[in-house]
Structure 1
């Protein structure tokens, strides 16, 4: 198409848009701009043949593969337009404000020119917001250059919209982190100033802060099965050693293990090497390794520390959160690494190494690591701050799964084996330890004898762990010990009995304690303390303690770093609050067999293989009788989790009285531009309207975008009455607040308003249960709250699998404590 049409439409003396005269080297840029013209839309542009091929997408790209977004092809734009932001004056073509929404690189999944001409262009985006595989498909409508923009199903797909990345208050794109990184880099190049000591200049974004030689919390990794894709990630070798952080304050140089144990006296050569950097103050993060036969060797490192060899220790450095009186924690990682590399290059030392990285091409880096026989890679968001926790900015990708376990026992040796036969292992569980398997492979005779000596003084008479998964013959020969030693073991997934498959010993982890394992497990497995407000579920059929969760390592929420085991641990922890919401009611569930980035679906009917505690209850329908799902106890709950259930949606009536509603739901569903403050205000007004007719109500964060106002009824009312009443309330609110809410569904009615969804109040309709997870990227939780909390929570998905249990443990009272004891019913509406 060329730029002739683009230039014909514009007066470059009056508009700030680029004329396209500048020459730029060819590349693979893509850009999406939010354009507030006469009709708000997104401009989607791909660089091809020296121009930006362009489409106007009225509703913006959708991350949902089932959504096909109209994309109107427009004139080609110059490459300079990829950097354009600003105001096009009134009276000129495209008048209005333009913001860059997202920017990055793209790559075709075929011959781009040919596919574009044919009308089906498949491509991969590497942006901050838009990532993964997409397709543009031309429609067959004559005379109209219309296309459809569609997201392919991959790890980046989900229930998200472009507008989710726009500030609802300003209607401007939220800040892009890659822009921060690039801006900081360009500023450093433009102003290479030096600090007072002649060292490399501190990066932009560093802030003055007091120095400390105390240990600091290191950044931690989440496990992931495949490397993240795109330029926002950098990838490093996974070093096989001990994590060590260093602090420097004047003449004091101290070395610490990851759990805050001082190692300074054990590593004098590393202290001497760090002194050669001549830093007044710093915090350094790295890995202590030993090189043998050209690569890092963990067993050689352990032997070196025990005095069994004289191989030199090496300290591989990969981060620097503090330097020369300044905190660098808010500086993007890639800038911190550039600064660290410059420090090490300025005064090189043979024992100090810089951990090199590559930006983007994670799959290729991982493949190279595997070809070299390495254990895996560490992938890190290039623009991430240093937070000192496990937040998902760093992920570990291993070729061979391994994990750390506590030693809870051993077996006697047989044949020529000496010391012990096998180690008995356990994983931290809520309130204790759970047997996870045994390992004997990979232990040499010398280590077997040493382990026997260390374990001999720890022998106890009773098992220190739940051993229900252990075979009876093994129990008879086991010798039990107090859990104190930690070992790392390779394994090939979990067997049908919930124990390790093909385990092989990797290393004795002297740098970790059983307390570390318990702390890491408590992130999801910690059961909140029970208080006066607890609502105990019926104890009808057993606990879920012995339900086997297969494939516990499967990643269910990739962005949140949550596995199937994490989901099971969460539901164990909240079962005493969740089960009263489900017990005695038909339920529908959302199942995601391959995690939330793949196909998920609703299911309400029971079937074979669900588990002995998952029941089917016949319910009469218009066209016959169907068998609905029902559970009554923790075992049934976990059997559904084993079937990959993430969400639970109960009916508003019970099995013993299906024709009468005992729960009414007003679901406040805001348009993306609506602020939480407006949702909260409407929620309070609905509460006030209900109180004026004598009805108490309760508030629940949906875990999505909205708020549920829940009204308990006792006695219940016929479904037709429930539907008529809730519709009347919704219509009345829409009449009183016409600028804020609507009672009619439909996109055109809802723009910039809150839809009061009353349609859930009919026989067979469901609503998400309190404490249920939501199948959303951040693993949000539907959380009951008090009305006095409404203004403080800030958003509906405030609580997630990572912080919900802390909330339950901290709250003094259950805000829904009285929901099942209130006696109220609907007023007469005749």
Structure 2
């Protein structure tokens, strides 16, 4: 195909569609929602100066188990990627067009060979569509080539489809609808920036227009949670990333309320009095209210020097501290958190140009060309770079929008001991270092290089008061001959050291002392997702057989009595009763007082209390199964995301389980026992979603879940009747079923299968039941996903029954304001329940205590096979 066919079908004097094509610097993709004679999504990839195009009737699905038909159509000009508007009646493709998503893309292998072979694999970098995908040409060809658009299994896979991002009332893309609320009536959305040149941010945008996109906000005079970086070995590619120098200093957050300036460390410790000159510099900006983010540095010989900064803070030198600003979250009554980063930086640069001060600097950036930016930083002797998504919001989390890449690997360690000096050395010989691995402080090596005699004497004086008789870390990695020479101390001090990777024995290779981190505490190391040494330390194996857990009311109540969480401590302990004993064991919980459900004022410690209390009931639902989880590092009201792979440093009780895929073996997250459950709670997990198959037979499902998902207009009494109708339909074909609240707005009807059945058969059966319900009662039920299809109706969601799909576990919390619980019920008590989130973190344990029996006890022993149909 070529643009000849595109132009042949169009009269450009009668349609606003572009006629010519302009090649962009970085290959881009676009998905457009097209309301033509038949509503569909147009999927387009830029290749060889044109947009290769496919019409996808149902839109992309994020579920790898769902294959979406994609009809190949004529090539379009690259300039079509920003086209939005109405194609007039009488013209080809007449109807309204909206940009649904856009960004850049890159082929996996050769794009041309993939198109020719009919197997095009690629990665998308969009606002909505991200990660790895494939277009596969089918054997059924007609006038147009038929392809299938399929999502690969990666961290971006989930159970949603494109319509989840479309407003059901307007049938317009949600992302654009929200943005348009802040645009002037006559303005059009601007195309995505793909320039790879260095930025001069103050000149490329009208900052007054950017500020109109901000939302009114009353600002509190308190610290805010900073955006955090993930550690990566190489910078990301693509024009959707901007790259800044990684400054070697202290992170400083700034709030201004009614003109009063306050400075904070990243741990919410106020530094205003210690840095009066920087507070005065910020006052020169003449702000009424603001939130600023940056790094405090000291320049020595033209570059940042951390040791000089520490000397400045200790009054050992008179070097001026400089506040290097890189983000602006709030300005004069307007929150800018949801404004794209590139625009926030333009406003910040404009502000600093208008009110310059010698102690305030703007942190410049480069858009695109990450490898080049990293090479330049390394050549200049900088620590590395921080790469940030140019269109990202400021969520105050470690969600992958900010990535740090170090030119010379370094990390932070606790000092757990020292050795005595030899020869001409004085004070100490070397510092013994520890770092959290698998939930405990572990010896990882020693460092003496980089310390002179004066430093060594100071270290001896500093460590002497903390000496202990026994090791204060796990010393399994330490040679026995070295253990006799070690003097142990209580881990209280954090240092940063360079190193050249991890050796075969799990210890640091060639470590060299960098600096004493007075701004860090040992507890900070426990809550890090970026521990480089731990990154190469395995956290478990799928080969271990699952641990069976007995589920009894007595056991649950015993756990409740044994649980103690001290929320006032920075490192709290969860005490969990051991099986068959009166004693208990402790599991560490950091930031127990952090609020997780703001509307209910429920803390992380209370979430841990809840999960410890119901562990003996929840764990049998998920033990040994591949598991998807919902993590909320900033609480339920912040950014939450699905995850199915084990993270770094997640504790010794979080394991992986091998899942065979067409592309190879995937390692999914799994736990064996209650300790694994609470290790996940420590990592800010709120929801648990297991596979419907046991770990020892992933090819067969042992349960079917019908998720009854109501439209907002459906009354709860109809939901109760609907669940009973589904039960009756299943009973008519010989299947018993069980019911639970979803913890959200719906109900789940669950069918156990013993023996288990193949996934394809289970999914086909579930689909058939959903269609039967929609046919029998079309005014009540619908079997097709999408809000526009279920107005006034209940969607019988059968899609959770495909291989790899998951459903929330019984007793799991939901990451929603109400903190609802997925609560198993008897059919008799269903009529007394008032809503899908009637049971919450506040009343669920009381409900469990009051009931006489487990309402799903029969589910565990029921023998029923999938009927033939």
- TM-score, normalization: structure 1? 0.67
Q: How does 1:188-199 map to 2 (within 5 A)?
A: none
Q: How does 1:428-467 map to 2 (within 5 A)?
A: 434-445=441-452, 446-465=454-473
CA distance in 2, matches of 1:544, 1:496: 32
CA distance in 2, matches of 1:353, 1:529: 58
CA contact (8 A) 1:56 1:73 kept: yes
CA distance in 1, matches of 2:610, 2:463: 33
Deviation at 1:288, TM superposition (A): 1.1
2:297 is matched with: 289
Structure 1 residues 572-617: Cα deviation after superposition (integer angstroms, max 9, x where no partner): 9968856666669995547999879xx995379xxxxx9xxxxxxx
Return closer, same or farther for 1:572/1:471 CA change in 2, 3 Å cut-off: farther
1:267 aligns with 2:296: no
Q: How does 1:78-93 map to 2 (within 5 A)?
A: 81-88=80-87, 93=92
Return closer, same or farther for 1:669/1:415 CA change in 2, 3 Å cut-off: farther
Residue number among 225, 228, 235 corresponding to 1:217 in the alignment = 225
CA distance in 2, matches of 1:131, 1:587: 29
CA contact (8 A) 1:772 1:782 kept: no
CA contact (8 A) 1:239 1:289 kept: yes
Deviation at 1:242, TM superposition (A): 0.5
Deviation at 1:203, TM superposition (A): 2.1
CA distance in 1, matches of 2:65, 2:704: 27
Deviation at 1:449, TM superposition (A): 1.9
Deviation at 1:313, TM superposition (A): 2.6
1:668 aligns with 2:706: yes
Deviation at 1:172, TM superposition (A): 3.6
SS state of the match for residue 345, structure 1?
helix
Q: How does 1:5-404 map to 2 (within 5 A)?
A: 5-6=5-6, 9=9, 17-20=15-18, 29-46=28-45, 52-61=51-60, 70-77=69-76, 81-88=80-87, 93-105=92-104, 125-131=124-130, 144-146=143-145, 148=147, 158=157, 163=162, 165-167=164-166, 169-170=168-169, 171-175=171-175, 203-207=211-215, 209=217, 214-248=222-256, 252-404=260-412
1:709 is matched with: 749
CA contact (8 A) 1:401 1:490 kept: yes
Return closer, same or farther for 1:652/1:449 CA change in 2, 3 Å cut-off: closer
1:479 aligns with 2:462: no
SS state of the match for residue 560, structure 2?
coil
SS state of the match for residue 264, structure 1?
coil
Residue number among 519, 539, 561 corresponding to 1:511 in the alignment = 519
> Any stretches of 5+ residues in structure 2 without a counterpart?
191-201, 532-538, 540-556, 564-575, 588-606, 629-642, 648-655, 662-666, 680-687, 826-832
Deviation at 1:236, TM superposition (A): 1.5
Q: CA RMSD in A?
A: 6.2
Deviation at 1:235, TM superposition (A): 2.1
Deviation at 1:62, TM superposition (A): 5.2
Deviation at 1:538, TM superposition (A): 4.6
SS state of the match for residue 459, structure 2?
helix
Deviation at 1:100, TM superposition (A): 1.5
Deviation at 1:491, TM superposition (A): 4.8
CA distance in 2, matches of 1:539, 1:164: 51
Structure 1 residues 137-168: Cα deviation after superposition (integer angstroms, max 9, x where no partner): 76787774415366696977645665265337
Q: How does 1:598-613 map to 2 (within 5 A)?
A: 602=659
Return closer, same or farther for 1:279/1:602 CA change in 2, 3 Å cut-off: closer
CA contact (8 A) 1:486 1:508 kept: yes
- Per mean C-alpha deviation after superposition, the further-off stretch among 405-414 and 161-170 is 161-170
CA distance in 2, matches of 1:789, 1:494: 56
SS state of the match for residue 382, structure 2?
coil
Q: How does 1:547-586 map to 2 (within 5 A)?
A: none
CA distance in 2, matches of 1:75, 1:351: 57
Return closer, same or farther for 1:582/1:83 CA change in 2, 3 Å cut-off: closer
CA distance in 1, matches of 2:340, 2:348: 13
CA contact (8 A) 1:578 1:770 kept: no
Structure 1 residues 390-413: Cα deviation after superposition (integer angstroms, max 9, x where no partner): 444333333555443433433333
Return closer, same or farther for 1:97/1:160 CA change in 2, 3 Å cut-off: farther
- Per mean C-alpha deviation after superposition, the further-off stretch among 346-355 and 165-174 is 165-174
Return closer, same or farther for 1:227/1:252 CA change in 2, 3 Å cut-off: same
Residue number among 422, 426, 431 corresponding to 1:418 in the alignment = 426
Deviation at 1:286, TM superposition (A): 0.9
Deviation at 1:20, TM superposition (A): 3.5
> Any stretches of 5+ residues in structure 1 without a counterpart?
547-569, 605-609, 611-628, 639-645, 656-660, 795-806
Structure 1 residues 767-817: Cα deviation after superposition (integer angstroms, max 9, x where no partner): 87948999xxx9xx99744676964599xxxxxxxxxxxx97996447698
Return closer, same or farther for 1:782/1:417 CA change in 2, 3 Å cut-off: farther
Deviation at 1:175, TM superposition (A): 0.6
Return closer, same or farther for 1:335/1:157 CA change in 2, 3 Å cut-off: closer
Deviation at 1:337, TM superposition (A): 0.8
SS state of the match for residue 329, structure 1?
coil
CA contact (8 A) 2:562 2:584 kept: no
Deviation at 1:453, TM superposition (A): 1.4
CA distance in 2, matches of 1:316, 1:121: 44
Deviation at 1:822, TM superposition (A): 6.4
Return closer, same or farther for 1:66/1:512 CA change in 2, 3 Å cut-off: same
- Per mean C-alpha deviation after superposition, the further-off stretch among 280-289 and 234-243 is 280-289
CA distance in 2, matches of 1:181, 1:493: 50
CA contact (8 A) 1:285 1:318 kept: yes
CA contact (8 A) 2:477 2:505 kept: yes
CA contact (8 A) 1:314 1:353 kept: yes
2:796 is matched with: 754
Deviation at 1:317, TM superposition (A): 0.7
Return closer, same or farther for 1:783/1:512 CA change in 2, 3 Å cut-off: same
CA contact (8 A) 1:181 1:334 kept: no
Deviation at 1:503, TM superposition (A): 4.4
Structure 1 residues 283-309: Cα deviation after superposition (integer angstroms, max 9, x where no partner): 322111123344322223223333444
Return closer, same or farther for 1:138/1:508 CA change in 2, 3 Å cut-off: same
Q: How does 1:671-690 map to 2 (within 5 A)?
A: 684-685=720-721, 687-688=723-724
2:550 is matched with: none
- TM-score, normalization: structure 2? 0.64
